[in-house]
Every structure is written in structure tokens, then in C-alpha cells.
Structure 1
């Protein structure tokens, strides 16, 4: 009798937890813009639940609060070099920004102090994206300078970084690299990280243990040119993921530029073939929607899917490079000389 009573008491809880989410059939968005002069902003992340931290092409790091106030803006110059930032990450302790080009410069920003924590000089160096698994373990990836992707790892909360040896990474194909479009070449769920590439090969690299071991999987995405491939990846959980991209030299091409997985990235299925969205620079799942609602942005506009990426509708002609969600009704987007707060209705 006691067991029956316990089951009856817990039944409503299980029912609530397993309730099937019904995605919004249509959405309308409003966009509140905040001008950032003379800068392209591709690197943004949500902090403090509602604010957004950004790093820009003109060496600035800053925070834009939910009410549009800029705080803690810092201009970085190292040996007359103004770093062009396209990657940003954060922990509770500090904000990190990573530049493209040679030399690669990785900074740690805490309490208005800037420390250069990693520098790499190489004619081929070009870093694309940076994320943290937790408060101690982080990863950054870039184009190959040898026979593998450039992968940086930190185990001490970003105070120091080391580059992985190619003997511990899958070999890169000739002409394969990554794109620094929106700081979303990496997706992280728990200790899993998925890294996406493009160029002559468009593949997905997966580590289940924060970079200790790796596997690489082919995809059906458009590839074969230096400008084609996967530009962005997101995972809703350890099994469900989405990749988007195309060819930035062909903004209207939409052949094999969107694909989904249901098995953790081992296999991929092309979706929404020859329909919108066309070229995509950033794709993100909407939180708290069971992986059913997805947004994508690019110079072609803002797009919404209610079917996990299988079908899409255009919700704005506004051009953006990157998008990050605060919750299911609020997101931040960024582009050329602008960061904007997007409200979903």
C-alpha cells in the first residue's frame, strides 16, 4: 500500500516533466538596437542571466546590460597591435577574448585588469572559437598550422593555456579549416565538445571527455571550396544537434547547408534542402523548448524553425552575425556596428 501511495504522489511530477512541449506556430520579434561605432561584433556571450559580454574587431571588450548600458568597456592594444576579436568566453572569475590572425593573442579580463595569457606566432595561425566546459576547463580551436586543427586547452580556469600535440588529435584533410563567423564552431554539453570545419572537407570532430580523446565524422554538408562548409553548430543535448553554413561568397546558395543529428553527431541528415535560410553564420536552439525551436541568423536575415530545423520561416530582414539566448523569449544578436536585444512574442 505504501508503494502504491508513493507512486500516486510522484505520478503528477513525472507527467509534468515528460509533458510534450508544443512549439510556437509563428513568432514575431522586436529588435532594440545599440550602436557600437566602427566595429564588427561576432563574439558575444550571455552573462549574469540578462547582460551580454562582447569582443569586437577593433580590440574592445565590454558588457551591455539588459537596459542598454555599456559597462566595463576596455580597449586593448599590445605592442601597437589592435587585436581583431572573433572569439569570447567567460567564467565566474573572468572574461577571455581571442584574436584572429598572426600573432594569436588570448587575454584574460578580470576586475578591469587585462593579462595576456597565451600568444602564438605562426604564419598560418588563425583562431576561430573559444568555450568553457566548466569553471576550470576550456577549449579554443583554430585553423591548422600542422597536420591537425589548432586546439588550445586550459585546466586552471584560463590562467594558462597549452596547444595540443597533433599526435593526440585526428588528422586534418588538405584544405580543411574552420570559420570565425560567430564564435559557434564549438558546441558543448557536459564534457562533450563538437567542433565543425569547412573548406575542402566539412566534418564534425567530437570529444566526450574535454579533449582527451577524439573521433571525427563526415557530413553531407556543402564542401569542396575554401569558402564552403559548416559555419555554426549547436547541440540541445548529448544526442540532438544541428549544423548550418553554406558558402559566404554565395549568400543565396542553400544547397546542403543545414543538417541535423539524433545520435550525437555520428551521422547527419540534410534538412530544408533548397529552401530558406540560405547562407547561415550562426544557429542556436531556443532554451526550454525540448530542441524544437531554433533560430538562425546571417546577412540574409533572422529565421525561425518550430520543427528542430526541418522547416524554417523568415521573421526579419535584419542582418546579424551571431545570436545567444537569455531564455525562450529573449536573445542578444550582434552584427556590424550593432548589438541588439531581440524579444520574441
Structure 2
């Protein structure tokens, strides 16, 4: 009997120990390996899917790593395109299922599935900022208002057709409210949940619980009021925990009210690390498997890391990038002006 009780006690202690929350790492450095370098290269759209990395440029070029290694090559799809990809300024990219989707800024807006033109919008005010997918069949892209609401187009048939939502079905945009095509991270998706970050004179979060069928809008305390202020990037770790970053790219060292966090799915937001670094950043991403504690923010002023959900930050590098995506909890790929690089984070 004593032996049985002792075993139960030991099992209980072991169980309690296994349920202790994992202590966040303390990343102290980042190693940067340049994989593709060209003075004419300008990349704000980068995605990773099943280990493959795809990047789209401001000149309409598409690069991808070959054979699951770090060698990048062209993928222009000249042999199948109906409308030449060249001379399109791609700021939005999605690598979903068997296809790479690219979406240009400016008018006319053009969305390609591989090399095939699938959506065309000739409107002087058209300017699309970001694109993402819920699954292989359903995807979304968002852009600046052409009427009195944000532009949102959705596919439900694997990218074959895209439909623009009516402003009757969306929250009305406020004067000066738009979005930034800075890093293709204006949209964050967790399951059926979707968050869209707007910016400019007004910076709010549009939220859909049902893959874009219905929408709500939430105010944020991030800096706003000018065309160059607001959220530039948003990311969610799960249905509750999210983070957004931005500021004013014309004043990149300003650190007031440019980092905000939510713990209730985006309904309310709080400013964190106010008056402390980093300043303006164009992209923020949660580190995978970090229990919503570890974040990396990047911009043309460098790379920063937090292991306490954004309360404090460590500046890791002055190397500038526009956008970043994680392959795992230690390796990421980043891109910007002139290069695509592999980033390895170490304690």
C-alpha cells in the first residue's frame, strides 16, 4: 500500500512538472546569410510553404529556392502568362496549394495565379496591399478604399475567380484610412478568423470570424493622424494573442505608441514598450512554438527581438529588411532592398 501511494505521489509530481510553462528563450544574436543579392532587387512580398521560399519583386520577377535548398532562381512563368508579369510592382504574394499568387499595386490592379491573370481592376484609386489564404480554395486580398470602405476581394474556388465585397457588407472607412503595402502583413489568419490592419490618418483593425462573410471593426491606440502613421504589420499567434507594429516611416526613430498588443482577439489593444525601441518597423512576426512570447520585428532600421510578448526588446542588428517569415523557431528568411537573406537566431 505504501509503495502504491509513493508511486501516486511521484506520478503527481512528474505530471505537475510537465505542465509547467516553458520558459521563453533569450535570443542574443542573429546570423545573416545573403542568398540572393542584386542592386535592382526590391522585395516586400515573401512566403514559405512546406519549406519552399517564394519572393516577388517590384519589377514583376518571382524567385523561389530550388530543390529545398537555399539557391534562388527565376520563376517568371513566361511560357503560360496571358498578361506579362513584367513591369508589375508586386507587394502581395501567396504560395498556396499548387500555385503562386501575386498581386500588383496601383491601377490597373492585376492578380495572377501562376502566370494566368485572374483578377483585373481598372480604377484610378486601386491599390492592393496584402494577400493571404484560409485554405487551398479560399483566399483574401485587401487594399485601399476605392469607395467608402476598404477594398476586399475574395476567392472561394481556388483562385479561379475573385469577387470584390460590396461596401454594404463592410465597415465604412474613415477619412484618410487606408493601408500600407510595406511587407504583405496587413492580414493575419488563424483558422476561420481574419484580422486586417489599416493605417494612415486612422488605423483600425477589421475582424471577421467566418472567413470574410461578416465583419466588425475595432479602434486601436497606435499612433495615427497622418498619412504616414499607423499599423504597418499585424500578426496573431492564436485566436486571442496578437501584435501590431508600425509608427511613421518618415520618423523611424520615434518610439511613442507604435507597438500594440491584444489578448482578447483584437477587441481591445494596449500600447507596450512605449517610448522605448524599436521605432518604426515594417513587419512583425511571432516566433513559432513560443507560446505567444517571442516576437521579431524588422524594418530598414534593423532587427529587434522580444521574449516577453513585446514588453521589452533587444536590438539584434542594424541590417535593414522589409519583410520576414519563419521556417521554424530558429530560422527565418527576410527580404528587402537588394537582397534575400537567411536569418538564424541563436541564444
Does residue 100 in structure 1 map to residue 105 in structure 2? yes
Partner of 2:318: 317
Partner of 1:70: 72
- Measured in 2, the distance between the counterparts of 1:213 and 1:85 equals 28
- Measured in 2, the distance between the counterparts of 1:20 and 1:242 equals 21
Q: 1:165 to 1:17 in 2, by over 3 A?
A: farther
Instruction: For residue 171 of structure 1, give the secondary structure of its aligned residue in structure 2.
Output: coil
CA-CA distance at 1:310 after TM superposition: 1.1
Counterpart mapping for 1:15-94 below 5 A? 18-37=19-38, 38-49=40-51, 51-65=52-66, 67-71=69-73, 73-74=75-76, 78=83, 82-94=87-99
CA-CA distance at 1:209 after TM superposition: 0.3
Instruction: For residue 168 of structure 2, give the secondary structure of its aligned residue in structure 1.
Output: helix
Contact map agreement 2:97 2:136 (CA 8 A) in 1? yes
Rg (Cα) greater in structure: 2
CA-CA distance at 1:337 after TM superposition: 1.5
Instruction: For residue 187 of structure 1, give the secondary structure of its aligned residue in structure 2.
Output: strand
Q: How many residues align?
A: 335
Q: 1:79 to 1:97 in 2, by over 3 A?
A: closer
Cα deviation, 1:120-142, whole Å, max 9, x if unaligned, reads: 00000000000001111100000
CA-CA distance at 1:254 after TM superposition: 1.2
Unaligned runs of 5+ in 2: 1-7
Q: 1:36 to 1:104 in 2, by over 3 A?
A: farther
- Measured in 1, the distance between the counterparts of 2:292 and 2:263 equals 11
Contact map agreement 2:324 2:334 (CA 8 A) in 1? yes
- Measured in 1, the distance between the counterparts of 2:19 and 2:73 equals 41
- Measured in 2, the distance between the counterparts of 1:84 and 1:188 equals 24
Contact map agreement 1:91 1:157 (CA 8 A) in 2? no
Instruction: For residue 289 of structure 1, give the secondary structure of its aligned residue in structure 2.
Output: coil
Does residue 148 in structure 1 map to residue 149 in structure 2? yes
- Measured in 2, the distance between the counterparts of 1:259 and 1:315 equals 20
Cα deviation, 1:216-236, whole Å, max 9, x if unaligned, reads: 000000000001000000000
Unaligned runs of 5+ in 1: 1-6
Instruction: For residue 327 of structure 2, give the secondary structure of its aligned residue in structure 1.
Output: strand
Partner of 1:295: 296
- Measured in 2, the distance between the counterparts of 1:102 and 1:144 equals 13
- Measured in 1, the distance between the counterparts of 2:16 and 2:208 equals 34
Partner of 1:188: 189
Contact map agreement 2:60 2:85 (CA 8 A) in 1? no
Tell me the C-alpha RMSD between the 2 structures.
2.2
Partner of 1:199: 200
Contact map agreement 2:61 2:86 (CA 8 A) in 1? no
Partner of 1:176: 177
